[in-house]
Amino acid sequence: MYKYLIIEGLGWLFIIIVIVIVALKSGLVNKLLKFFKRKKVFKTIAVLGVLVLGVGMVLYGRTSYPVHFAMPATMHSVASDHNPPSLPLLSLWRFLTESRKFEFVKDVGADPNKVPSPINRTEPKTVELALTTKEVIAEVADGIYNNYWTFDGQAPGPMLRIREGDTVNFTLTNDNSSLHNHNIDFHATTGPGGGASVTNVKPGESRSFSWKSLAPGLYIYHCATSNVSVHNSHGQYGLILVEPKEGLSKVDKEFYLVQGELYTQGGIGKKGLQAFDPQALLDGIPTYVTFNGKIETVPRMKAKVGDSVRIYVGNGGVNLVSSFHVIGEIFDKVYPEAAMGPESAILQNVQTTTVLPGGASIVEFKVDVPGKYTIVDHALARMNKGAWAVLEVEGDDQPDIYKSKEDSNNQPKHKIDAHEGY
C-alpha cells in the first residue's frame, strides 16, 4: 500500500541529492562565494535582496487557499484540506504518518443487498438507532488505496429504515482512531442542521438526540462537519427510508445504491495510497465516481426472471448530478426525487432519472430477460471513473421478448450499427 508513496518520496530525495552533488562538483558553490567576496557589501546585499524579493513574489503568486476559503466564517474547516505542492516531501511524510493510525478495511463498499426489511406494523413507535464514524484505509480498486471517512466502516453508511410518525432516539459515536470531529445531518429530520448542531463528536465521544419523522420519503444522511464537502467526498453519506403509513408495495428484490465521488492526487489509476486533492474538489473533477464507495469487481446484485425489483438510489455528491440508468431496462415506476405522499407524482416507463447531489430516487422494474444488466450514470464518461454496477438476472430465455436473429449459416442477418448497443 505504501510502496508507491515511498518510491515517490525517494525519487524526490535522489533528485535533490543529485542537484547538490552536481553543484558541488561543478564548483558552482565556490564560484558564488568568490563572486560575493569580490563585490562590495552593498552590491551583495542588493543581489540577495532581489533574490529574496523574487522568491517571495513567486510564493505569493502561487498562493492557493484552503477549500473553506469562501465558506461562511462559522464553517471553516478543521480538516487537513490542503497539501502544499512546493513541499512534496513534507506533505508526503505527514500523510504517511497519519495514515498508519487507521484500520485497514478489506471491503469498504456497502453491500447493495443489505436493505432493512419492510416495516409491517401499523402504529408508530420509538426507534433506537446508532452509527459510528470511523476513518479507515481501504481499496478503491486493486492496488489503489484511499482514506475513507465512514459511518460504521463502510461507504455509503448502512441504509436505515423507519416509519412515518416514528420517534427516533439516535446516538452518534466517533471512534477513538479518528483524527477529526464528525457529526450527522439527517435530511429526514426537521430541526437545525438536521441533527448536525447537536451531534458534533470528537474522537472517542458520543452524543444523542431525538427527532420525529414527519414526512415519508427516501432521504440522504451525511456528515456536516466543516468543511462539509471534504467530509462527504471521503465517503460520509448514506440513506434513510421513512416508509409512508400505508407502507410500500411488495417487491421480490430490494437493492441499495449511492453514487459518490473521490478526489485523489496523482490521477486515475495511480497505484498505492492516495492523498486527497482539494483543488480537484473545488474544480468539481473527481478522480473516481462510484456506486457504493469503490469500483465493482463482481456482480453483487442478483435476481431471477420475473422478479420485481426496487432500487433505492442516492447521490452523496458533492458536485455531480447523476443520470441513473439501467442498460437494457425501462423503469416501470419512478418516485422522482424520492418524494412520497398523496400529492407526489409517480412516473411510469422512464428510461433515465435524475438523482441530485444530496438527493435520492426510487426506481422499480420487472426483469423479463436473463443476462447481466449494467447500471450506470448515463453521463457515460463517468463509467471510465468507476460509475457502474451490475445486476445479474438468472432464468430461462424469453424469445418472445428478446432474441438474436440468425440465418442458417449462423451469421447475423444484418450488421449491427454502433448506435444499437453498448
Q: What is the DSSP letter of 142?
A: T
Quote the DSSP letter at residue 37. Answer: H
- Residue 21 CB contacts under 8 Å (≥ 6 apart), including other chains: none
Contact 331, 355 (CB under 8 A): no
| pTM for this entry | 0.81
pLDDT digits (tens, 9 = 90+) for 97-134: 777 789 999 999 999 999 999 999 999 999 999 999 99
Burial of residue 162, with CB atoms counted within 10 A of its CB: 0-12 exposed, 13-18 middle, 19 or more buried? buried
User: Which helix (H) or strand (E) element contains residue 134?
Assistant: strand 126-141
Distance CA 334, CA 324 (A): 11
Measured from the Cβ of residue 12, the count of other Cβ atoms closer than 10 Å reads: 12
Where do the DSSP E strands lie in 142-235?
Answer: 144-151, 160-163, 167-174, 185-186, 206-212, 217-222
Q: Are strands 347-350 and 185-186 parallel, antiparallel or unpaired?
A: unpaired
CA-angle at 311, arms to 286 and 164, nearest 5°: 105
CB atoms within 10 A of CB 289: 23
Residue 16: its pLDDT value, please? 82
- For 47, 54, 64, the CA distances from 61, given in Å and listed in that order, are 21, 10, 9
pLDDT of res. 43: 65
Domains within the chain, CATH numbers bracketed: 3-63 (no CATH), 98-250 (2.60.40.420), 258-269+277-420 (2.60.40.420)
Q: Which pLDDT score, from 0 to 100, does residue 408 have?
A: 46
DSSP code, position 414: S
> Three cell numbers at 115?
436493505
According to the model, what pLDDT value does residue 51 have? 74
pLDDT in tens, the chain (422 residues): 777 777 777 777 878 887 878 777 777 767 766 766 665 556 667 767 777 877 777 666 655 555 555 555 545 544 444 443 334 455 566 667 777 789 999 999 999 999 999 999 999 999 999 999 999 999 999 999 999 999 999 999 999 999 999 999 999 999 999 999 999 999 999 999 999 999 999 999 999 999 999 999 999 999 999 889 999 999 999 999 999 999 999 999 999 999 999 999 888 999 998 889 988 999 999 999 999 999 999 999 999 999 999 999 999 999 999 999 999 999 999 999 999 988 899 999 999 999 999 999 999 999 999 999 999 999 999 999 999 999 999 999 999 999 988 744 555 444 434 344 44
pLDDT value of position 349? 98
Instruction: Kindly give the pairing relationship between strand 160-163 and strand 144-151.
Output: unpaired
* Cβ proximity of 84 and 265 under 8 Å: no
136 close to 102: Cβ distance less than 8 angstroms: yes
Q: Shortest CA distance to 260 belongs to which of 214, 226, 222, 227? A: 222
Q: Helix, strand, coil: what percent of the chain each, to 5? A: 25, 35, 45
